[in-house]
Amino acid sequence: MTAPEGPLVVGVDSSTQSTKALVVDCATGDVVARGQSPHTVTGTGGARESDPEQWWQALSEALQQCGAAAGRAKAIAVGGQQHGLVTLDTAGRPVRPAMLWNDVRSAPQSERLIGQLGADTWAERTGSLPGPAMTVTKWAWLLENEPDAARATAAVRLPHDYLTERLTGRGTTDRGDASGTGWWATRTQAYDEEILRLAGLSPALLPEVVDPSKAAGSVRRVPGLPLAPGIAVAPGTGDNAAAALGLGLRPGRPVLSLGTSGTVYAVSQRRPVDPSGTVSGFADARGDWLPLACTLNCTLAVDRIAALLHLDRDAVEPGGDSVMLPFLGGERTPHLPHAAGLLYGLRHDTTGGQLLQAAYDGAVYALLDALDRVLDEDAAPDEPLLLIGGGAQGTAWRETVRRLSGRPVKVPLAKELVAIGAAAQAAGLLLGEDPIAVARRWDTARGPRYAPLPPDEPALQRISTTLSDAGSLLRREEHRG
C-alpha cells in the first residue's frame, strides 16, 4: 500500500445491518483501511428494533479493524440510518431499544397526526407527510404504548446523533437528518413548536442543529477507542444525504439506491413540498434540498422471493404475464404500511425465473413511478440514473432498471458511498472546502455507463393496472393489519 498523500479522515456508515468505517486519504480519496461489524435487528410483525449500544460497540470494532490508520486520522464524520427513535435517560443510556426507520407500528399515529394538522400544512411546513417511518410518529407511538419509557426519556436522538454524541459528549444533529424527523420544519429550518406540542415532545429533549460547515465537537478520550482525542468531529448526516455527498451530486442528477430499502432522490435548489406524501422533502447536508421517495421492499424482499423459489438472485427469465408486488413488510411508496405481497397472473407455463423477474419488476416500478416527482421540471430527461447500493452490483437489478426506465444507467465504481460521503464531509471540515468539491476531486461517480433500452411498456402497464385493480385487496390487508 502506498503512503497517503494527504491527511487521513474517517467516514462511518452506521446502517440497519452493520457499521462500516473507512479511513480515507484527503488528497486522493483512496481508502487506506476499512472495518465492518454487524448489528442485530429484532422484532416481529411491524416491529423493527436495535439496541443503540451495539451500534457503538460495532463502531469501536470497525475502527479497531482499521488498525494504526484510524489513530492517524485528523477528523471523522458519521452517516447513519434515518428516522430511528433513540431515547436516552439522564445518564445518556438507552431507555429502550431504538425503533428503526422500517418499524411501521406507528401507522395509526401517523394517520392521526396528519388528520390533526392536515396534509397540506404538514407538507408546506416540513416538506413531507409524517409517515410511519418518521421519528415524530414513533415518539407518538411511544407516548401511547410505553408511557413509562417516554417519561424516563431525557434526550431524543437519531441514530447518527447517538454515535456523534458518544464521540463528542455534545448533543448535536444536522439539517439533513433533522429534516427526516417530522418536527424540524424545512420552511423555517428550525424545530416547529406547534408540531412538538402536537407530538407531546419538549424541545429541551432535542439536539442542537449544527451548521453544515461547523464541527459538532471533538473526540473525547474514550478507553479502547482507536482515535486520537481532540480530532474534529463533523456534523454527520443521514445515509441518503451522506451518499449524495459521496457522489458529489449536482442538481438534477437522479440517484436510484438499491439496498434493504429502495430510494430515488436528487439534489434540488428548490425546497420540495408534496402533500401527496409520495416524495419526502428532505434537506441535504450542505444547504440545498434532497427530495426523495423510498420503498420498504427492495433487495431483501427480492432475495426472499429468490429463496422461496430456490433460485439464485440473478436466475431471472424473460416472458410471462405475472405481476408481483413484493410488499413483504408493508410498503411506504405506495403508502400501505400493513400490506402483504401480492402475486397475480400465474399460468401453467409460468416459470420460477419469470416469477423472480416479476419481483424485480414490482420493486423497481414503485421507485421509477416516483422519479418524475423527485426531479425538477427542468431536469434533463436523458440524464443517466446513478445506480448505487448493494443491488447495483447485480445484473438482474441493473437490467431491470434499464428495461423499465428507458434511461441510461451509470454504476459508480466507488463502494460504500455513505461512508465515503461522511469522509468527504470530514475532509471538507478539515480542509475548509465544500464536501461536494472534495468528492468530485476524488472522482467518486466514475463508473461504466449503460445505454438506454426502449421502455418495456407492456410490463409497466401490467404492473400499473394490477396495482390499481388490487387496491381493494391491499386496503383489506391494511384493515387486518
Give the 3-state DSSP-derived string for 340-357, with helices as H, strands as E and coil as C. Answer: CCEEECCCCCCCHHHHHH
| Closest-CA residue to 243 (of 419, 86, 382) | 419
What is residue 257's predicted lDDT score, i.e. its pLDDT? Answer: 92
Report pTM.
Answer: 0.89
β-pair type (184-185, 190-191): antiparallel
Q: What are the mean pLDDT values of the chain's consecutive 10-residue runs (481 residues total)? A: 82 95 97 96 93 97 97 98 96 97 93 96 96 95 98 98 98 97 97 96 97 96 94 97 95 90 92 91 96 91 96 95 90 79 94 97 92 77 89 95 95 94 98 96 95 95 88 59 51
What is residue 475's predicted lDDT score, i.e. its pLDDT? Answer: 60
| Closest-CA residue to 73 (of 103, 111, 33, 107) | 33
Q: Is 316 helix (H, G, I), strand (E, B) or coil?
A: coil
408: its cell numbers:
441510461
Q: Which residues pair with 209 in a beta bridge?
A: 173
In the DSSP assignment, the letter for residue 392 is G
What is residue 1's predicted lDDT score, i.e. its pLDDT? Answer: 55
d(CA 318, CA 370): 25
Q: Where in the sequence numbering do the catalytic residues fall?
A: 239
